[in-house]
Amino acid sequence: MQTRMIADRTVSAIGLGGMPMSIEGRPDAARSVATIHAALDEGVTLFDTADAYHLHADEVGHNETLIAGAIASWGGDTSDVLVATKGGHLRPGDGTWYVDGRPEYLKKAAEASLARLGGDAIGLYQFHRPDPAVPYADSIGALVELLDAGTIRLAGISNANVDQIKLARELLGGRLASVQNQFSPAFRSSEPELELCTELGIAFIPWSPLGGISSASRLGERFAPFQQVAADRGVSPQVVCLAWHLAKSPVVIPIPGASRPESIRDSVHAAGITLTPEELALLG
């Protein structure tokens, strides 16, 4: 497995996004655990979750608990596994989402996430989504306090623009470890943020790198060049897409979501593929 860096932590170049295992359409727990175990078997050491990955109002942190339990029940060495979680985006249980970026809320949310994940500190904690009702600097201030208190080891932000990245990096005293934004063949508007992260050496973690839960299986149909390269190489269009992400920059670490063992087993093949300049030109 190729590796990449998040601050001073070495992680697998392909991570696993946990959201599909906990929201609408989620599988039974046994299949989810098998998916996480398959990822670990393949050398995946980065797992992405959030306290908001759940269905019902009384199961906040469902995905955090699921991932923590599955990692603990795996038979191998997990000392190099990094679990990244997020706070500040919430689900009341009716299928909707809302935000809460108040510092006092974020600090309580982080403590609750730590209790679910276990251990002495959260490996990577990311502010999930800006709250228009709260100054961004105030929300980032909570990350500063969490870092200084040792509640979290690394701090990141998600769904951030260029100015917010610069501000977070400044307020964190250069300790901004990651930016998690949407990025895929269908959603490329985060190119400026990716370029800035490359310049600053900040890990860029694209969410929905295959286009989202409902569209990932049709990636080859929607984007013919990815299907063409996949056919030439004898792999899936999804593998080509993840290899394309990796070729974008050495700071990119895609986190494809999965709820089946065969999905993550397929995804990790991307770490062993180097696309040619001609293929990259075709993919755009």
- 53 has catalytic annotation: yes
How many secondary structure helices (H) and strands (E) does the chain include? 11, 11
Alpha-carbon distances of 39 from 2, 117, 150, 219, rounded to whole Å: 14, 18, 28, 22
Q: Name the active-site residue from 53, 105, 125, 136.
A: 53
Between CA 256 and CA 113, with CA 209 as vertex, the angle to 5 degrees is 55
Residue count (the chain)? 284
Alpha-carbon distances of 122 from 112, 126, 185, rounded to whole Å: 10, 10, 31
Three-class secondary structure of residue 130 per DSSP: coil
**CA-CA distance, 244 to 61, in Å (whole number)?**
32
CB 78 within 8 A of CB 44: no
Q: Indicate if the alpha-carbon torsion angle 123, 124, 127, 128 is positive or negative.
A: negative
Tracing tokens 């990955």 back to the chain, one arrives at: 53
Residue 272 has what DSSP assignment?
G
**CA-CA distance, 215 to 202, in Å (whole number)?**
28
CB 233 within 8 A of CB 225: no
| Paired residues of 83 in beta bridges | 47
Residues forming the active site: 53
